[in-house]
Amino acid sequence: MLFQRSCAINPPYNPTVLSGSLRAFNMEFTFFPAVSSISAPPVIRATLEMPVRDAAKRMEEYHATVLLIEADTEKYIFSVEDLLQYVRDDGDILKPLAAALIKPLVCIPEYMPIVSVMEVLENQQVKYIGVSDRQNNIVKILSDLDILYAIDPHVLFESKHVGDLISNTNAVTFTADWILDDVLCHLKQLRDAIIIVEAGVPVGIFTGKDLCRIISSGESTSNPLSFYMTSPVMTIEISTSIHDALLLLKTSRINRVVIVDKNRQFVKVLSRSELVGFAYGVWMTLVKKHGSELREMIGMLEAKAIGFDQTTVMDPLTGLGNRNLLHNKISEEIKRIRRYHSAPFSLALIEIDFFKNNLETWSHRLCDEILKAVTATLSESIRTTDDLVRWDGDAFAILLPNTTVTGAGEFASRVRSTITQAPVLDDIKLTISMGMAQFSPHEKDSEFFERTGQALFRAKDMGQNQVVVDLG
């Protein structure tokens, strides 16, 4: 047969994942978690050389509805629906899967939001979708029902009943004395089922999984339905809420619900596909209808986040900016250099020598006063264009715009001498170690911080009270 290439989503998604719960429209939703959060059965694999009958046995053994087939870099699936179609077309179950209806597997990255996956299912017209990790390995295969459970919009369905989804079409039913061979044509997809009814009351059910079991065991299909059917059949009344119908599907691990009226008379079979379609329609209608409200709420959250950032860039003890402010300032400097090819900047990391060793000797109040005194001395030593921040504990950082590493080294020597010449507080004398580096336009900011930090470590290792300049 001619195989199609396994397809990925094109164009690739680059979703923004919104975290947290928003209270809106008198209902609570967790918006768009990633598809990696959906639990799924283990991936069951097959090969192109495996006979169809063995594939059916594997489905039966692992209670699987789909098998993954990997051939070189291509990925395919063989589902229960494909098995049903093959048998209906009088296919030879002893032939390899390569002769059957193998389909390419649509794949998505594991970080894709669930709501986007619903769109993929609809646009690609598929029931199964592969989830790949960063190494392009298939880690799970999800069905449309798995997606429905993950979205779990049950709050939308508490006031809706299964009767609201029932169309005027009549379901095809059979009595128990019908021969299975004569009714197999009605099993076209996994969602299909043969309902066995006596005097209007459903007494049994025969599904695609039952046919899979028969094929794998080599049983004959020439017996009446009573020989194969599952009985009694699980039913729900037409007044049952969609929420409860979903719960039944999930807890009982079934793919359809048989609906009866108050007199226990058969009404219809409601498949998972109908529930998926309804869920997707309601969900997307909600999102579209309230899109403006959602955008407004997101804007409010972003505004609050900005306000929060402003309160977290200052160190309350010294009144200096903290490392958050320093990162912001350095980002601005990097943009300036790369945009205008202007003069470089340098960074100094400073640590008070032996400060941690004296923590048990000094009181908490004295430690605070020493840090304030060092702050005052450093503040007097810098230019108005420099930025002094408290990096962490007994460590400080100074951003020196328009300063080469040579100028930064000279500056560091002056600062070190100033600190060591006189007591910073009463009779307490201190020394400091400093590491210096000049930013290179070709490096990442993380690499720049790493270089500067290593220079400080070398200064400490050299006996402290030292200045080490990284020349890049």
pLDDT at residue 373, rounded to an integer: 92
pLDDT at residue 189, rounded to an integer: 62
pLDDT at residue 102, rounded to an integer: 84
Pick out the chain residues at pLDDT < 70: 1-33, 115, 145, 148-161, 164-172, 188-191, 272-273, 275-312
Same fold for the pair 21-149 and 162-284: yes
Contact 242, 163 (CB under 8 A): no
426: left (phi over 0), alpha (psi -120 to 50) or beta: left
Q: Which fold has domain 162-284?
A: CBS-domain (3.10.580)
pLDDT at residue 131, rounded to an integer: 92
Cα 328-329-330 angle, rounded to 5 deg: 95
Q: Is 23 helix (H, G, I), strand (E, B) or coil?
A: strand
pLDDT at residue 69, rounded to an integer: 94
Pairing of strands 128-132, 107-109: parallel
pLDDT at residue 286, rounded to an integer: 56
CATH match of 21-149 with 3.10.580.10: yes
Contact 189, 208 (CB under 8 A): yes
Residue 459 one-letter amino acid: A
- Is the pTM higher than 0.85? The answer reads no
Burial 19-43 (b: 16+ CB within 10 A, else e): eeebeeeeeebebbbbbeebeeeeb
CA 254 vs CA 80, 271, 452: distances in Å: 14, 10, 61
Would you tell me how many other CB atoms lie within 10 Å of the CB of residue 312? 10
Residue 194 one-letter amino acid: I
Residue 381 one-letter amino acid: S
Burial 155-186 (b: 16+ CB within 10 A, else e): ebbeeebbbebbeeeebebbebebebeebbee
Residue 46 one-letter amino acid: A
To which residue do tokens 């909600």 refer?
A: 286
Contact 425, 373 (CB under 8 A): yes
pLDDT at residue 148, rounded to an integer: 65
**Torsion angle defined by CA atoms of residues 26, 29, 31 and 35, in that order, rounded to the nearest 10 degrees:** -160
Q: How far, in Å, CA of 99 to CA of 345, rounded?
A: 67
DSSP 8-state assignment for residue 226 = G
Q: Is 75 helix (H, G, I), strand (E, B) or coil?
A: strand
Tokens of 56: 């059916």
Sheet holding 387-392, edge to edge: 387-392, 395-400, 346-352, 432-438, 467-470
CB within 8 Å of 226: residues ≥ 6 apart: 176, 177, 196, 204
pLDDT at residue 302, rounded to an integer: 62
Would you tell me how many other CB atoms lie within 10 Å of the CB of residue 274? 18
φ, ψ dihedrals at 337, nearest 5°? -65, -45
Q: Which CATH number fits domain 312-470: 3.30.70.270, 3.90.1200.10, 1.10.1040.10, 3.40.47.10?
A: 3.30.70.270
φ, ψ dihedrals at 72, nearest 5°? 60, -120
pLDDT at residue 348, rounded to an integer: 95
**Domain residue extents for the chain:** 21-149, 162-284, 312-470
